[in-house]
Amino acid sequence: MYGTLDDRAMIYLQIAQMLEDDILRGVYQEGEQVPSTNELARGYNINPATAAKGINLLVSEEILYKKRGIGMFVAPGAGEKVKQKRKAAFYDGFVRPLVKEGASLGLTGEELAAMIEQAVREENET
């Protein structure tokens, strides 16, 4: 488990995001146990109820599942679910506002696509 907590978002959301990050990076594989509520609470010096709220969020999204009396585990297909969730958030948080701003500047779809392609080329050169 990696990462530090900050004031940008609610702590339970940060806990959920850090677990998602670890799933995407392969730190936790499908079927593997993730840290317990108490381990998270001790590791980040937070209330166990806050840690549980972050874990329960991932359970409700079927990214984690509970084995009663044992702990929480990474669900089958969790990595793909996290990717799809984040792609949707990227679309809503970045692509739609980009298109809206482009329209306000009078950019055509082709001009906007060309700008994106240029940015991708520049990113790949670094």
Two structure tokens written together for 16: 């959920």
Burial label, 45 (beta-carbon count in 10 A; 0-12, 13-18, 19+): exposed
| 44 and 5 Cβ atoms separated by less than 8 Å | yes
pLDDT digits (tens, 9 = 90+) for 11-51: 999 999 999 999 999 999 999 999 999 999 999 999 999 99
Q: What is the pTM of this model?
A: 0.81
Q: Which residue has the tokens 């500047």?
A: 105
Model confidence at 1: pLDDT above 70:
no
> Cβ–Cβ contacts within 10 Å for residue 38, how many?
11
Structure tokens at 44: 């980040």
Residues 117 and 5: their CA atoms lie apart, in Å, by: 35
Give residue-wise pLDDT tens across range 70-108: 999 999 999 999 999 999 999 999 999 999 999 999 999
Q: Angle formed by the axes of helices 48-60 and 37-44, to 10°?
A: 130
Question: Quick count: other Cβ atoms within 10 Å of Cβ 105?
Answer: 9
Locate the domains of the chain by residue range: 11-76, 79-125
Q: Check: CATH 1.20.120.50 for 11-76?
A: no
